[in-house]
Homo-oligomer: A and B are copies of this chain.
Amino acid sequence: MNGMAPRGSEMEIVHLLRAVTVELGLHSARFAQRHAMHPTDVRALIALMDAARAREEMTAGRLGAALGLNSAGTTALVDRLERAGHVRRVRGERDRRKVVIEVSEGAVELGWAFFGPLIDRTVVLLETYDERERAAIRGFLTGVRDAVAEEDGGEA
């Protein structure tokens, strides 16, 4: 009767995490709909901005792979984003087979205008905790992220 002891507290957090995931998904979906985009388009912009932050060039092929699209789907995706003015196609300078995708200034500002307030709220919320509590939050999120990645990696 020990191992099955009061796990209510832990399960509550598990459900909270799922709720947060769902809410964030809906938030992204709202952003997508407001700007006449699809969920995949938003994921693409996020991937592109992450790459930009890491100072990496994102090519059409890498983008498609990151999103799980094949070449045809990737072309259609980039077409849509380019038509909407969110990205530019730039032929690779060293390797002219490559097509480097650049996010436009406008798209970055669009994203910041939408997600900025939420980020600000979150930062303010985090400032109400002391360093030990923040470390716990950081450790928990890191642990979950790694656990999910490991599950997927092991079952590939």
**Residues of chain A at the chain B interface (Cβ within 8 Å):** 7, 9-14, 16-27, 29-30, 46, 68, 117-119, 121-123, 125-127, 129, 132-134, 136-145, 147-149, 151-152, 155
Contact = CB atoms under 8 A, between A and B. Distances in A.
Given A16-B142, A21-B25, A122-B14, A9 B149 contact: no
Q: Is the interface of A mostly helix, strand, loop or mixed?
A: helix
18 contacts: A7-B123, A10-B122, A10-B134, A12-B138, A13-B134, A13-B138, A13-B141, A14-B122, A16-B145, A17-B122, A21-B25, A23-B145, A23-B152, A27-B148, A121-B151, A122-B143, A125-B147, A126-B140
**7 closest cross-chain pairs (CB), A and B:** A133-B136, A16-B141, A23-B148, A121-B147, A10-B123, A10-B126, A125-B143
Nearest to A9: B134
B138 A136 contact: no
Contacts of A117: 151
Given A18-B46, A27-B152, A136-B137, 20 more contacts: A10-B134, A11-B119, A14-B122, A14-B123, A16-B138, A16-B141, A16-B142, A17-B141, A20-B141, A20-B144, A21-B21, A23-B144, A23-B145, A24-B148, A25-B25, A30-B152, A118-B151, A122-B144, A125-B143, A137-B140
A14 B127 CA distance: 12
